[in-house]
A and B are shown apart, each in its own frame.
Chain A
């Protein structure tokens, strides 16, 4: 639900709800504000719910929320506390069931390391592709994802550098993922992790949170190179 406020410092204000019931409850409360005899109940609810029934991620956001109520009351002056957010009715929009609410979080960079060894034939690779599609879909606007494969004859291969979900080429890349490694080849997840570290080190700009997701079905791995990768992970800027 989005409230448009007449307060200059805070033109819009988003509320996220855990379920529809909560949303309805709030919507009704706001519409109740519209009636000519506002009760003092509403602002109390406002304060009360700050404690965490909503699902916002930013504590900053929470602070902003508190500020709204104080700003509102000071602006409203002699009238009523409740009259400040006047334009709410125009924008009490319900998010469509299918549409995903925007996720508010600190942007992250994530490199996914996937096996393309011969063992990934059939259903396994399909499910892997599906998981990757889901991950890209679930990224926030400012999140970025990179992709590295291992288990082919080339060892760790960077497929996509840090790229946001808005990029149109993701599907093409995913459809091109095939198990290409030969049976005899040892697929080493540590090699993949190392190339993922390369991708992260080569970034010109970095999001605050950096992660690698390693997916592997491989039974061989070079335990000796773990130290090297861990050291790089710890020293990353």
Chain B
């Protein structure tokens, strides 16, 4: 009886996941188990250092939950047939799985809330065109024509080349999620989106005319920004590992260096961000290997599947006033820098660090890497909490509640 019941449950494709959000109260708690429970259920850990902030912290969380738009969201990436690309690295999601074939990958994003925006970085390596030519049987006619072209001089062959440009599918992205309005049924976007590029034919060695080298395309500011975020959360994680091994000085040094690099990136002057100004300086441009390309795939969860395409590439803070020279949002930069600075403060005092700062750092890592915030206590939390109107609303409500709450306290 019980078994058959269970069987029915399993065949039903309705599927709810329970997210376990955790709140570490005060300095005494040990965060590790709570963080494990939360991160493995794609939820968040919040450090409530100040007891007085408990109400506001749970308020932000409830506000986020009441703003849920999509559950259990997965970005499904596929290299379609004919794609010359290979996955090099996928980052920025809660969990990433790659199929053994290497042509499919899945990035778990967790739940999306109204107002949410998540950035997943997909780095692809694209083999030069000649590999695909090798696959084609060599057409004798083609070789005769190309021989004549070589004789005919540069002008005609240029024309010929523009004609032979191929459009190649590179990457296909789909979004799968549990539809909360339809009992959690697994749902996909109406159609996956496809990234296709035009491939110029490889220079044949027989031809001596060299195309003027095109300058490398600078990465999109939102890609740089997400890279900075992930760099920050990675380095904070490493610093914690170092501290755990008792290597506080190394951790300190690592974070100092990270700060410097972030500052450089923010100014747009240092590698690996080739900006127009650094090019005019000549000198040390980063060696961006030509076949390598990075594509940022930005998924917007702000509205249900009908998200207009034109929202995708804009960073949420893309008004000109807040954009630094590199195009990276300065508020984000300050938030990241603030988190590193805060973690540095006590890093050389192991006892204080493990009692307090470590928990704050653990929370910051989660906030930055998952782009989710629930309170306005630190700049990085505020940055992401502010995106969700539901979080703003409940935070405000919890502050208004104060007066009523104080009465309750005095009654005690």
Contact = CB atoms under 8 A, between A and B. Distances in A.
A189 B401 contact: no
A59 B18 contact: no
Contacts, number: 182
Interface residues of B, number: 61
A77 interface: no
Given A223-B32, A223-B36, A128 B54 contact: yes
Nearest to A222: B33
A214 B14 contact: no
Given A127-B54, A200-B18, A215-B54, A230 B390 contact: no
A223 B33 contact: yes
A131 interface: yes
Given A126-B409, A214-B34, A223-B33, A57 B66 contact: yes
A189 B61 CA distance: 19
Nearest to B389: A55
A216 B22 contact: yes
A124 B36 contact: no
Contacts of A226: 33, 36-37, 40
Contacts of B61: 213
A48 interface: no
B66 A134 contact: no
Nearest to B40: A230
Interface in A217-237: 217-223, 226, 229-230, 232-234, 236-237
B110 to A, nearest CB: 12
A64 to B, nearest CB: 13
A140 interface: yes
A138 B29 contact: no
A7 B409 CA distance: 50
Contacts of A59: 69, 303-304, 306
Nearest to B31: A216
A213 B21 CA distance: 5
A135 to B, nearest CB: 6
Given A212-B21, A233-B41, A237-B15, A105 B30 contact: no
25 contacts: A52-B302, A59-B303, A60-B181, A105-B67, A105-B390, A106-B181, A108-B65, A110-B62, A128-B25, A134-B58, A138-B62, A189-B22, A190-B37, A208-B71, A208-B181, A210-B18, A212-B19, A213-B23, A215-B58, A217-B28, A217-B29, A222-B33, A233-B20, A236-B16, A236-B18
Interface of B: 9, 12, 14-26, 28-30, 32-34, 36-38, 40-41, 43, 51-52, 54-55, 58-59, 61-62, 65-69, 71, 114, 180-181, 183-184, 302-304, 306, 389-390, 393-394, 397-398, 401, 405, 408-409, 412
Given A112-B58, A212-B19, A233-B40, 14 more contacts: A55-B393, A59-B304, A127-B52, A130-B55, A208-B16, A208-B181, A211-B43, A215-B54, A215-B58, A216-B29, A230-B37, A230-B41, A233-B17, A234-B17
